[in-house]
Amino acid sequence: MAGKITVIGPTREEVMKVLRAFLLIRKTDKREYQYVQSRVKIIFISCMLGFTNEFFMPEKVWFANRSVIRNNDLAWLSSLIVHEAFHATQFKKGMYVLPLGKKLEAPALLVQRKFLRKIEGGKGRGEIESAVKKKYWREMRGDKRSFSYFRNLLHLLENKKLQLTKMGA
C-alpha cells in the first residue's frame, strides 16, 4: 500500500527538487511510483556536502548529503530514488547485507538503468556505467563522517528529538 513520503531538507529549493523528481517518477512509470511510495517513508537531505547517501531499513529512511540533490539533474535524481527504494525490496528478501558492494548494488543499478531508459531521451544512462567503473560504493564506504551523521540523525528522528517545520503544499 502506497503512503505519503516526508521530505526533510535544509532549504525549500532542495525539498522542491525532490518533489519534482517524484513527479517525474509518477509521469514516467506509475507502477514504479507506487513501489517507491510503499518502500520509502522519509527522505532526509543533510546539510553536509558530498555524494554519500544511505538507505535504512526497516525504518524506510533515505539520507542523502546535500550535493546528491543539488548536483544531479532530475532524471538522475528520480532514478536514484527508484534505486534506493529497490534496496527496501532487497532487505525484505534477506539480501540487504553490509558491506556495500557489487552484490548489493548491481541489481539496484539494473532497476535504475531500466528506469532511466523509460525517461524521454534516456538521460543519464552513461552516468551509471561511470558510477560502476568508479565503484562509487568504495568511495562512500570511506566516508565514515556522513554515515555516523546519518545514524545520529536517524536516532534523533526515532526519538522525536528533531524540531521540524512543515511547509504547506
Q: What is the pLDDT of residues 91-106, one digit of tens each?
A: 776 555 555 566 778 8
**Residue 123's closest CA among 70, 67, 169, 80?**
80
Residue 162 burial (CB count, 10 A)? 12
pLDDT in tens, 122-159: 555 556 665 555 555 556 666 678 888 888 898 988 88
CA 115 to chain centre: 14
What Cα–Cα distance (Å) separates residue 147 from each residue in 12, 99, 104, 115? 24, 13, 17, 27
CA angle 135, 43, 166 (to 5 degrees): 155
Can you give the residue ranges of every domain in the chain?
Answer: 6-158
pTM given for the model = 0.82
pLDDT of 1 reads 45
pLDDT band at 21 (very low <50, low <70, confident <90, very high): very high
Q: Which residues lie below 8 Å from residue 10, measured CB to CB, with a gap of 6+?
A: 45, 46, 47, 66
